[in-house]
Chain A
Amino acid sequence: MNANAKKIRVLVAKPGLDGHDRGARVVARALRDAGMEVIYTGLHQTPEQVVETALQEDVDVVGLSILSGAHMTIAPRIKEMLKEKDMGDVLFLVGGIIPGEDAEKLLAEGNADQIFTPGDPLDKIINYINGRVNINRKS
């Protein structure tokens, strides 16, 4: 392992009011084991807090975990603020209980780069991030 290698930095964020972070922790742990540096925000974050944290931590990826049903409000809001702060190129993932039609809408409107839902294998998330972040860096 090259200690000098650039590491992929991921913000795992729990925006909004739901207090369930088992899923977020499982994902955080899996990304850690895949060699990434995972910054976890803890619960009940406002979109402003998530975006400012992403900025200060200079992350490559922001992953939201939303189980409250507020994803159609929160995800577009955070995406918009990321763009405002010139961080539109940060990979933006949404995970949680996201009904299929909502997922399609978020993706179609560019308010999420990818959506992961219960049942998706952890490897799928890891591979997706590895593939996309390396592409982003090359460009």
Chain B
Amino acid sequence: MAIRGVLMHQLVKDLLNGNRRAAARLITIVENEDDQKRSLLKEIYPHTGNAFIVGITGAPGAGKSSLVDRLLQQIRSDGLTAGIIAVDPTSPFSGGAILGDRIRMQDHALDSAVFIRSMGTRGSLGGLSRSTREAIQVLDAFGKDIIIVETVGVGQSEVDIVKTADSTVVMLTPAGGDSVQTIKAGIMEIADVFVINKADLPGSDRSATEINMMLDMNGEKPWRPPVLSTVSINGEGVNELWLALQEHRQYLEESGKLLEVRKQRVRRELTEQVEYLVKTRIWEDVRDTIELDDLVEKITKRLQDPYSAAGELLEKINFFKEDQGEGV
């Protein structure tokens, strides 16, 4: 074990020295829920917080990957480095996945300032993969200036990206339904920047107008999302998008909003970590003392109900007495 600990520590050192293999290995480790994950993330965390995180979301085939490819050109011509996390869906049946986002980005494969990683959702339903946040931390500590997270192709309600990114771009395509779609809750609410891609197709002006009308109904807000038109296959409008993202970043920084957003994120992380530790501890105790299969059998046969069984289970491991003094 000691040898393994040293080895792992070396991996973080290599990461901080800019070793791409180390970055790749570390993402695998966090993604696979390896035993060493938490101790490694502890070492990585002090080196994070420097990257600006951009989320790109939209329907399947809206052109997210192609737009990321174009955006990368802008980022690189400004002399900045970039990390990309491209998420594609994991099959609920086989657990397998086709990760095909980077096909559009292969022109950047040999640029050492760009690191692209594809991830399967692995059961997560919010548009991101289970370990997106940890993978961002790895690329952040790796020293990437901008980290772009491309979500899976989303529908109306997969909005986890807004909890993860500093700036969120929502991509739409022309002819996406009537104006009622624009006032629905969910994805239409999370954009810091709207992009109508495939703006060379008929109906793009109307889509832009409808979104602008929706935004104008919101009243005075300190940040009013711009509605931009792009054609990602030829790069039209991508410079404007890059400028809008920089403007949004400036707004976040100058208004103090960035700090606020990041505090919320840290609070959520902290809560999740506490819950994780409590959960792990409880299940360890349960596994040691209780035969779960018997309980499941009983509940299935309707000899017991799951509500009281859960309470009894916690009583058996002295959860209430030891930790709380009394029941919750």
Which A residues have a C-beta under 8 Å from some C-beta of B?
1, 3-7, 9, 28-29, 31-42, 45-46, 48-49, 52-53, 55-58, 85-87
Q: Contact mask B176-218 → A, CB, 8 Å, 1/0? A: 0000000000000000000000000000000000000000000
How far is it, in angstroms, between the C-alpha of A56 and the C-alpha of B27 when the chains are bound?
A: 10
Q: Contact mask B82-98 → A, CB, 8 Å, 1/0? A: 00000000110011111
How far is it, in angstroms, between the C-alpha of A57 and the C-alpha of B116 when the chains are bound?
A: 8
- Given A45-B106, A58-B28, A85-B21, the answer on whether A38 and B97 have CB atoms closer than 8 Å is yes
* Chain B residues closer than 8 Å to A87, beta-carbon distance: 21
How far is it, in angstroms, between the C-alpha of A7 and the C-alpha of B131 when the chains are bound?
A: 14
Give the 3 A-B residue pairs with the shortest CB-CB distance, closest first.
A42-B103, A32-B96, A58-B24
How far is it, in angstroms, between the C-alpha of A20 and the C-alpha of B117 when the chains are bound?
A: 25
**Contact among B20, B95, B100, B115 with A7 in the assembled complex (CB-CB below 8 Å):** B95
Known: A34-B94, A38-B97. 19 other contacts (CB 8 A): A1-B95, A3-B130, A4-B32, A7-B32, A7-B122, A29-B98, A31-B96, A32-B91, A32-B94, A33-B96, A35-B94, A37-B90, A39-B118, A41-B102, A41-B103, A48-B110, A53-B102, A53-B106, A58-B25
> Chain A residue with minimal CB distance to B104?
A42
B contacts with A: majority SS: mixed
How far is it, in angstroms, between the C-alpha of A1 and the C-alpha of B90 when the chains are bound?
A: 12
How far is it, in angstroms, between the C-alpha of A1 and the C-alpha of B96 when the chains are bound?
A: 11
**Contact among B20, B97, B99, B130 with A55 in the assembled complex (CB-CB below 8 Å):** B20
Q: Find out whether the CB atom of B96 lies under 8 angstroms from the CB atom of A40.
A: no
- Given A52-B110, A86-B21, the answer on whether A37 and B99 have CB atoms closer than 8 Å is yes
Nearest CB on A from B76, distance (A) = 16
How far is it, in angstroms, between the C-alpha of A34 and the C-alpha of B28 when the chains are bound?
A: 20
How far is it, in angstroms, between the C-alpha of A38 and the C-alpha of B119 when the chains are bound?
A: 10
- Given A32-B91, A37-B120, A41-B106, the answer on whether A56 and B20 have CB atoms closer than 8 Å is yes
**15 examples of A-B residue contacts, CB within 8 angstroms:** A4-B33, A7-B95, A28-B98, A29-B98, A32-B96, A38-B98, A38-B99, A41-B103, A41-B106, A42-B100, A42-B103, A48-B110, A49-B109, A56-B116, A58-B25
Q: Pick from B23, B91, B100 the residue with the most CB of A within 10 Å.
A: B100
